[in-house]
Amino acid sequence: MTWHSGGVSLPEERRRDTRLDDYHSSYSQRTHQMRASAVRALFAVANRPEVVSLAGGMPNIADLPLDVVAQNISTLIQQRGTQAMQYGSGQGEPFIREQICEVMALEGIQAHPDDVTVTCGSQQGLDLVTRIFCDPGDVILAEAPSYVGALGTFGSYQAEVVHVAMDEHGLLPEALRSAARACAEAGKRPKFLYTIPNFNNPSGITMTLERRRQVLEICREFGILMVEDNPYGLLTLDSDPIPAIRSLDDEQVVYLGSFSKTFAPGFRVGWVLAPHAVREKLVLAQESATLCPPVFSQYAVGSYLANHDWKAQITSFKDMYRARRDAMLHALDEFMPPGATWTHPEGGFFVWLTLPEGLDSQAMLPRAVTARVAFTPGTAFYADGLGSRNVRLSYCFPTPERIHEGVRRLAEVVNQELELHQTFGLDRSPMHVSRAVGPGPETV
Amino acid sequence: MTWHSGGVSLPEERRRDTRLDDYHSSYSQRTHQMRASAVRALFAVANRPEVVSLAGGMPNIADLPLDVVAQNISTLIQQRGTQAMQYGSGQGEPFIREQICEVMALEGIQAHPDDVTVTCGSQQGLDLVTRIFCDPGDVILAEAPSYVGALGTFGSYQAEVVHVAMDEHGLLPEALRSAARACAEAGKRPKFLYTIPNFNNPSGITMTLERRRQVLEICREFGILMVEDNPYGLLTLDSDPIPAIRSLDDEQVVYLGSFSKTFAPGFRVGWVLAPHAVREKLVLAQESATLCPPVFSQYAVGSYLANHDWKAQITSFKDMYRARRDAMLHALDEFMPPGATWTHPEGGFFVWLTLPEGLDSQAMLPRAVTARVAFTPGTAFYADGLGSRNVRLSYCFPTPERIHEGVRRLAEVVNQELELHQTFGLDRSPMHVSRAVGPGPETV
């Protein structure tokens, strides 16, 4: 097994002499894609209280009414504890699949509970969908940039990711058409197009309704399945949510949903909505992977939905996230030097910053952490080495005041980098490590 | 996609005419192993209240103190709800990994919390272990018979299972040695030996301490990793548990543990104890599959272990399971005709019945369900088509009275089958469907 640290491998003789792993020749091929990240060590430092972390993707759940949740779950255990603590259905419990259909209806989706498969978070939904569709070497189309956790999953199934360009309205139809044609000419039909159409993680870009129709049309034309990953849609801050792609088509789209951002992540309850035949394979795959998704969690989430005004809770979350998004955008305006640009998300958790030309966010990260601010470098979100000028900034977890301070610190670092760059004219060839940041909860 | 029902496939022209699945040409190779089971339909019938089901593997948790559990979890939410409902560590929370080490110490295992990875049930542990070790075509050695859920998982990674014979003391050393040599001669080193040494599911056989040492020795000699799956060890009914294989060796053994049978299954909290380098890959695989195992569940199980006399609860479970095991063995003695034999488990949930010669348990199942008793046919527990004379009988869930009645009904069916067989001299060539019963919670 070879450890990569900034692109340097252990020399062959050292690997033979210091064999720390008796099983190094036993691992499967897919593990070669699984590497611990050099940046992980930095995140351990970034979690210190004196560091403002703009790196993570953890929702702020401090305002959940703990008394109400405790009361609901206590009653649940006393009344239905024996079912809630028993093995359950591999597809997920019928009651929550009905509730999930009610939740999806808020974004225009018409669905039957039978076509819903409950998963251990929507991350597991993505894992199972990839498992049932992808053989090693298969192509998956993804936005440029795309969610680091998805890229990690696709890599673990040895799929080849082809990124497709976006502008501020989402995927570019011509770029998608080109990518689909290029794959066809190479004799490789993409197994699916993976999209996060609402406030794409990491770019914050939302696919407009017009683009959703155009992208759907192209996918129908080329016979490409769409996988729509939508954890943030109900956290649209400035308007009602745009209709989900799945609301426009129920045959070409597999939809991933989650309660992680609209309620809380710790229960690990997500879902996949898929056409019947796909659903059958998903359930078989789930049973093989876990027997059944967490039953107690489903009852807990179900009782929350049934007994609490969860829509009012979402409104409350939106007010809180709106203040944080606004704080970040104002601070960026106030502090960032000319040459820096950034997206203006209408919801979700992230702003995508493009540094002035010549700067490298991965190289800059250690200096930022020393200056007590952390972020996720853009290269994490590309399978092809791009993203070195980009930074993903999360506004979901810190307070508006901390966000303001964090951006101030970051801008100082950027300015120092600019000075070095201008003074010394350094060739700042970035040290690329593909997906330098492995997937993990702190980089959600 | 081809549906198998008792070995009959849909003819080609029908498949073209009635294409119910637009994605039939898109699925991955591994899905070809995933088939819905013809026997599943029978289990839906078997779940009717008038049927005595001796088929499932669900633990009886009716006597868990629901008030105490409710109180613990309510307090947990009020005091630590914000952590318990947040994303957590991909390896699992540190506090529960420490508690898991205390639990394992009861079976002689010395371990460090750092070497524990928490999983969504031990089923997921098995899935991740297979994922990091097995490429398509790799060989896995397993007991004959072995757990249906494991066979399903191994199949989903396109591994080839080679069964190794047991006697009443567990794996036969010479059979293991022969299998290892045969693999070596074929140029295929088995990736691991999968064993359920305590009350093997489905046979109820326990590997003696002497055999554990012999098997370990052979595995060391051939360089074969052992995967020890031990959900039932603490439910040893007539004595203290035998020392775990992992207590005899900490380099050659990967250990799977679970709270499903000693506490409750619905939280989906299990674990893998593995050497350091293996653990690192397991955590990367977990993060890719789920981001993190269910956090709330870990807090719930942790608070139960910390605040309740869980060892006394296990003693109470043992008394209950002992009465059920004894009821089953007595009923088998009372009702089964000559020619039928069965195992005498010292714990766990299952008795393995061998029918009189000439009978076929899979063919017999529909008639049994008509007679209002259900069981799991033995062919489910072999990857190679064997097991048609065998029946797995579960005593974990029904009351002693129901067990008595169920065995009575089953013996009637067996007697009727014997009469038919003797009267008509039928050639009862069994309709083999490999792994006729797919994995699923009702066949745990």
pLDDT in tens, B144-177: 999 999 999 999 999 999 999 999 999 999 999 9
Residue A364 is encoded by which pair of tokens? Answer: 């800059």
Provide the pLDDT for residue A45: 76
Q: Coil, strand, or helix at residue A83?
A: helix
Higher-scoring residue by pLDDT: B384, B12: B384
Say if the Cβ atoms of B149 and A23 lie within 8 Å.
no
Percent of chain B clearing pLDDT 70 (strictly above): 89
Query: If pLDDT is split at 50, 70 and 90, which confidence band does B2 have?
Result: very low
Say if the Cβ atoms of B266 and A296 lie within 8 Å.
yes
Q: Which of A282, A127, A133 is nearest to B289 (CA)?
A: A127
Which amino acid does the sequence have at B351?
A: V
Say if the Cβ atoms of A289 and B90 lie within 8 Å.
no
CA distance B27 to B87: 32
Nearest CA in chain A to B151: A288
Does the pLDDT at position A427 exceed 70? Answer: no
Provide the pLDDT for residue A439: 53
Does the pLDDT at position A434 exceed 60? Answer: no
Mean pLDDT of chain A: 91
pLDDT in tens, A203-252: 999 999 999 999 999 999 999 999 999 999 999 999 999 999 999 999 99
Provide the pLDDT for residue B39: 61
Say if the Cβ atoms of B267 and A291 lie within 8 Å.
no
CA distance B152 to B140: 12
CA distance A386 to A432: 8
CA distance A238 to B248: 62
Paired strand residues for A64: none
Residues B389, B357 contacting (CB under 8 angstroms): yes
* Span of A431-440, B73-82, B168-177 with lowest mean pLDDT: A431-440
The residue to which tokens 């789209």 are assigned: A253
CA distance B131 to A127: 12
CA distance B13 to B172: 49
Does the pLDDT at position B116 exceed 90? Answer: yes
DSSP state of B25: T
For B31, the closest of A132, A275, A441 (CB atoms) is A132
Q: What's the rounded mean pLDDT across residues B109-116?
A: 98
Provide the pLDDT for residue B433: 42
Q: Provide CB contacts within 8 A for A361, sequence distance 6+.
A: A355, A375, A377, A378, A379, A387, A388, A389, A390, A391
Say if the Cβ atoms of B81 and A64 lie within 8 Å.
yes
For A67, the closest of B23, B78, B264 (CB atoms) is B78
Q: Which of A274, A312, A342 is nearest to A130 (CA)?
A: A274
Higher-scoring residue by pLDDT: A45, A52: A52
Looking at CA atoms only, how far is residue A175 from chain B in angstroms? Answer: 23
- Alpha-helical regions (H) of B382-443: 400-424
Does the pLDDT at position A435 exceed 80? Answer: no
Say if the Cβ atoms of B280 and A69 lie within 8 Å.
no
Distance from CA of residue A272 to its chain's centroid? 15
Query: If pLDDT is split at 50, 70 and 90, which confidence band does A23 have?
Result: confident
For B290, the closest of A36, A120, A134 (CB atoms) is A120
CA distance A301 to A310: 10
Count CB neighbours of A347 within 10 A: 22
Q: Which of A283, A267, A307, A292 is nearest to A83 (CA)?
A: A292
CA distance A283 to A289: 10
Residue B440 is encoded by which pair of tokens? Answer: 């699923």
CA distance B329 to B343: 9
Q: What's the rounded mean pLDDT across residues B9-33?
A: 65
Does the pLDDT at position B136 exceed 70? Answer: yes
The residue to which tokens 């409950």 are assigned: A118
Say if the Cβ atoms of B291 and A123 lie within 8 Å.
yes
Say if the Cβ atoms of B121 and A291 lie within 8 Å.
yes
Q: Which of B69, B315, B432, B250 is nearest to A300 (CA)?
A: B69
CA distance A225 to A281: 16
For B69, the closest of A77, A275, A297 (CB atoms) is A77
Provide the pLDDT for residue B34: 79
For A225, the closest of B26, B85, B123 (CB atoms) is B26
Paired strand residues for A52: A373
Say if the Cβ atoms of B66 and A78 lie within 8 Å.
yes
pLDDT in tens, B208-224: 999 999 999 999 999 99
Query: If pLDDT is split at 50, 70 and 90, which confidence band does B189 have?
Result: confident
Best probe of the B interface among A22, A23, A349, by most B CBs < 10 A, is A23
Nearest CA in chain A to B136: A28
Provide the pLDDT for residue B3: 33
Peptide bond into B202 cis (omega under 30): yes
**Full DSSP string of B155-172:** HHTTPEEEEEEEETTEE-
Provide the pLDDT for residue A41: 66
Percent of chain A clearing pLDDT 90 (strictly above): 84
Residue B427 is encoded by which pair of tokens? Answer: 């050639």
Provide the pLDDT for residue B32: 85
Which amino acid does the sequence have at A325?
A: R
Does the pLDDT at position B27 exceed 60? Answer: yes
Does the pLDDT at position B202 exceed 60? Answer: yes
* Span of B54-58, B264-268, B316-320, B349-353 with lowest mean pLDDT: B54-58
Does the pLDDT at position B225 exceed 90? Answer: yes
Cα dist from A115 to A210, A256, B140, B297, whole Å: 27, 12, 34, 26
pLDDT in tens, B323-360: 999 999 999 999 999 999 999 999 999 999 999 999 99
For B20, the closest of A35, A277, A440 (CB atoms) is A277
DSSP state of A35: -
Percent of chain B clearing pLDDT 90 (strictly above): 84
- Name chain A contacts of B72, Cβ cutoff 8 Å: none
Provide the pLDDT for residue A1: 35
Provide the pLDDT for residue B437: 46
Q: Provide CB contacts within 8 A for A252, sequence distance 6+.
A: A216, A219, A220, A225, A226
Q: Provide CB contacts within 8 A for B95, sequence distance 6+.
A: B302
For A36, the closest of B89, B124, B284 (CB atoms) is B284
CA distance A194 to B223: 42
How long, in residues, is chain B?
444
Best probe of the A interface among B291, B308, B349, by most A CBs < 10 A, is B291
Say if the Cβ atoms of A293 and B268 lie within 8 Å.
yes
Q: Hey, what's the torsion of the CAs at A354, A355, A357, A358, to 10 degrees?
A: -130
pLDDT in tens, A296-335: 999 999 999 999 999 999 999 999 999 999 999 999 999 9
Provide the pLDDT for residue A4: 34
* A325 burial type by CB count under 10 A (0-12 exposed, 13-18 middle, 19+ buried): buried
pLDDT in tens, B34-73: 776 656 666 777 778 999 999 989 999 999 999 999 999 9
Say if the Cβ atoms of B290 and A127 lie within 8 Å.
yes
Say if the Cβ atoms of B297 and A297 lie within 8 Å.
yes
Q: What angle do CA A215, A159, A170 make, to 5 degrees?
A: 25
Nearest CA in chain A to B70: A74
Query: If pLDDT is split at 50, 70 and 90, which confidence band does B22 have?
Result: confident
- Tell me the whole-structure pTM to 2 decimals: 0.92
Say if the Cβ atoms of B23 and A124 lie within 8 Å.
no
Q: Which of B166, B127, B152 is nearest to B286 (CA)?
A: B127
pLDDT in tens, A70-105: 999 999 999 999 999 999 999 999 999 999 999 999
Looking at CA atoms only, how far is residue B328 from chain A in angstroms? Answer: 23
Distance from CA of residue B258 to its chain's centroid? 11
Q: Which of B69, B406, B437, B89 is nearest to B259 (CA)?
A: B69
Q: How far apart are the first and last CA of chain A?
A: 26
Q: Provide CB contacts within 8 A for A319, sequence distance 6+.
A: none
